[in-house]
């Protein structure tokens, strides 16, 4: 099941379950739209993959399947994936 992580790993911006700004990679690494576009150039710093908007889980389902409580904060400084992949489309990496 998809983990709903409620903050950006880089800047800690709040990304609640219904945020339209949340972006995830295929491993559910979660960043805000601004970081993905301006800092990461659509390259996940943890796996090198691309990002997509996170689907919104309906509110009623959160009782049974809540958001993830622990926050992940790993600011991106120098990143090997970023240098290698930022000019390549995710499907060509
Ligand atoms: Zn961010
Ligand atoms: Zn990733």
As a whole-number percent, the residues of the chain with pLDDT over 70 amount to 100
Residue 55 CA to ligand 1 centre (angstroms): 17
Is pLDDT above 90 for 38?
yes
Residue 83 CA to ligand 1 centre (angstroms): 19
User: Which has the closest alpha carbon to 5: 51, 68, 56?
Assistant: 68
User: Would you give the end-to-end CA distance of the chain in angstroms?
Assistant: 25
Is 64 among the domain residues?
A: no
Is pLDDT above 90 for 6?
yes
State the CATH number of the domain containing residue 83.
3.30.40
Is pLDDT above 90 for 70?
yes
Averaged pLDDT score across all residues of the chain: 96
Handedness of CA 12, 40, 45, 66 (dihedral sign): positive
Is 66 among the domain residues?
A: no
Residue 5 CA to ligand 1 centre (angstroms): 12
The count of domains in the chain is 1
| Segments forming the whole domain that contains residue 11 | 1-59+71-93
Question: Which ligand is the nearest neighbour of the Cα of 72?
Answer: 1
What does each C-alpha distance from 5 to 33, 77, 85, 92 come to in angstroms? 14, 21, 25, 27
Lowest mean pLDDT among 18-27, 34-43, 70-79: 70-79
- 43 neighbors 92 (Cβ within 8 angstroms): no
Task: State the greatest distance between any 2 C-alpha atoms of the chain, in Å, as a whole number.
Answer: 42
Whether this model's pTM surpasses 0.75: yes
Would you state the pLDDT for residue 78? 85
SS3 93: coil
Residue 65 CA to ligand 2 centre (angstroms): 22
């Amino acid at each position: 099941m998809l983990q709903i992580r409620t903050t950006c790993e880089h800047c800690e911006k709040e990304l609640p379950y219904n945020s339209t700004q949340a972006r995830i990679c295929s491993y559910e690494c979660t960043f805000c739209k601004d970081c993905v576009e301006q800092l990461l150039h659509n390259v996940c710093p943890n796996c090198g993959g691309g990002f997509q908007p996170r689907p919104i889980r309906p509110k009623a389902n959160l009782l049974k399947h809540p958001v993830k409580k622990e926050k992940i904060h790993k600011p991106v400084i120098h990143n090997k994936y970023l240098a290698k992949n930022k000019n390549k489309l995710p499907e060509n990496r």
